[in-house]
Amino acid sequence: EVQLVESGGGLVQAGGSLRLSCAASGFTFADYAIGWFRQAPGKEREGVSCISSPDGNAYYTDSVKGRFTISSDTAKNTVYLQMNSLKPEDTAVYYCAALSLAKYHSYWYYYANWYVYDYWGQGTQVTVSS
């Protein structure tokens, strides 16, 4: 059974930090890129970041560059999203998802598009207070 399980969300003051985890199971971790998305109430789901464990490349949306860092632990089949200097506008439910590298060789062009992902986690709430 394929599972993506997010954890690490919570309530933090502006300027604070959180580290989200995405534990993957049920599929070959090295065959997929893992992306993080977020969705705030009344807004569309937004691609935040993506990493591919085979090449180690990471990508970020402009609004989080320099504040968020994505990393991958292949021994644990887990992807992390370290979020620093959090802002109230970062408040959202954060999801991780898996994108097939076999389907999308040039995954960096597509990573921000939710419809290219095969598997999704249940989400974890991040709330940043001002």
pLDDT for the residue 56: 85
34-56 confidence digits (pLDDT tens): 999 999 999 999 999 999 988 88
The pLDDT score that the predictor gives to residue 72 is 96
pLDDT of residue 105: 87
Q: What is the pLDDT of residue 38?
A: 98
Give CA 18 to chain center in angstroms.
13
Note the pLDDT of residue 23: 98
pLDDT, residue 122, reads 97
All residue ranges of the chain with pLDDT < 70 are none
**What pLDDT is attached to residue 15?**
98
DSSP 40-91: -TTS--EEEEEEETTT--EEE-GGGTTTEEEEEETTTTEEEEEE-S--GGG-
